[in-house]
A and B are shown apart, each in its own frame.
Chain A
Amino acid sequence: MGFIERLRKPDWLQEMQTTLTFVLVVIAVLGGLTVIPLVTGDSLVAQVPTRAVAGVAGASGDLRPGVVIDPHGTVDVLVRNPDAGQVVDKALISMPTYLVTVTVLVLLLGVLRRARRDNPFLPATVRRLRVIAVVVLVGGQLAFTIETVAAMDLSARVTNKHMGTIFDVTPVGIWLLLGFGFFAIAEVVNRGRAMRAELDSVI
């Protein structure tokens, strides 16, 4: 199909497959850029509560009048020559979500590839979509838990026992929504499979 033809009649499965492949490559590169400095670098950035840093909470510095550092928020600090525990914590703050995301995208790419090649309304397609849903639901919550604990632990390791991280539950909701979304899509495909089976029995 020529380029103009593709623009007028897009094959959305192909477009999605191409986009997913591109995103996976980008994520792999970004993952590498994150991990390599962790392993080879001599410093890392950690988030600590502002109250852990004397003189920061409520400070205004070059901020406009009436604007101060949030005394209940967090600040980024540079940890020089981190120990192994701090490096592991830092890795655990981002790697779980990264791993779950890569796993889901690879599985989804497999589903798309098979859907383009064969009949998409197969029991195997339904099964794979349900597997993705479980990975998202369970993996997502696990990733959030590990990352939250790691962030709190890192903060404790670099301060005098101030455990601080903004406990943002948004990822919990997002993973839940995505997981249920994949289950719903699996059910749609399952109904398509049943209708296709019905049609196949028409002589």
Chain B
Amino acid sequence: MPPEDNHRVDVHLDKLLTKRGLTLTELADRVGITLANLSVLKNGRARAIRFSTLTALCHELECQPGDLFTVRPPT
């Protein structure tokens, strides 16, 4: 069984949504994932993301993965 992962990944979905003038619901519809899952991602509670989902998000938000995620330095 894999160990519990405490990640240091910050998700900048809110900023990008505001920039593109999209709501979470609209983005979820366009990307093809549920609003619940997108909320989980936005709040940093996701454990992993599929490349296909990442591609779709970056396409809709017109960004790169590095714009969407940053890794905090260790404390």
Taking a contact as CB atoms under 8 Å apart, the answer to whether B40 and A203 are in contact is yes
- How far is A23 from B34 in the complex, measured between Cα atoms in Å? 44
Please encode chain B, from 23 to 47, with 1 for each CB lying within 8 Å of some chain A CB and 0 for all others. 0000000000100011011000011
Interface size class of B (residues with CB under 8 A): 10 to 19
Q: Does A198 sit at the interface, judged by CB under 8 A?
A: yes
Most buried by B among A194, A201, A203: A203
Taking a contact as CB atoms under 8 Å apart, the answer to whether B48 and A203 are in contact is yes
Taking a contact as CB atoms under 8 Å apart, the answer to whether B2 and A198 are in contact is yes
Please, which residues of chain B bring their CB within 8 A of the CB of A201? 40, 46-48
Q: Does B53 sit at the interface, judged by CB under 8 A?
A: yes
Interface size class of A (residues with CB under 8 A): under 10
Taking a contact as CB atoms under 8 Å apart, the answer to whether B1 and A202 are in contact is no
Please, which residues of chain A bring their CB within 8 A of the CB of B41? 203
Taking a contact as CB atoms under 8 Å apart, the answer to whether A203 and B37 are in contact is yes
Whole-angstrom distance between the Cβ of B27 and the nearest chain A Cβ = 12
Taking a contact as CB atoms under 8 Å apart, the answer to whether A203 and B1 are in contact is no
- How far is A194 from B33 in the complex, measured between Cα atoms in Å? 22
Taking a contact as CB atoms under 8 Å apart, the answer to whether A203 and B50 are in contact is yes
Please, which residues of chain B bring their CB within 8 A of the CB of A198? 2, 47
Please, which residues of chain B bring their CB within 8 A of the CB of A202? 46-50
Find A194's partner among B1, B40, B48, B49 (CB 8 Å cutoff): B1
**23 A–B contacts from the bound complex (CB under 8 Å):** A191-B1, A194-B1, A198-B2, A198-B47, A201-B40, A201-B46, A201-B47, A201-B48, A202-B46, A202-B47, A202-B48, A202-B49, A202-B50, A203-B33, A203-B37, A203-B38, A203-B40, A203-B41, A203-B46, A203-B48, A203-B49, A203-B50, A203-B53
9 nearest CB pairs, A to B: A202-B48, A201-B47, A203-B49, A203-B46, A203-B41, A203-B37, A203-B53, A202-B50, A203-B33
Extra pairs beyond A194-B1, A203-B41 (18, CB < 8 Å) = A191-B1, A198-B2, A201-B40, A201-B46, A201-B47, A202-B46, A202-B47, A202-B48, A202-B49, A202-B50, A203-B33, A203-B37, A203-B38, A203-B40, A203-B46, A203-B49, A203-B50, A203-B53
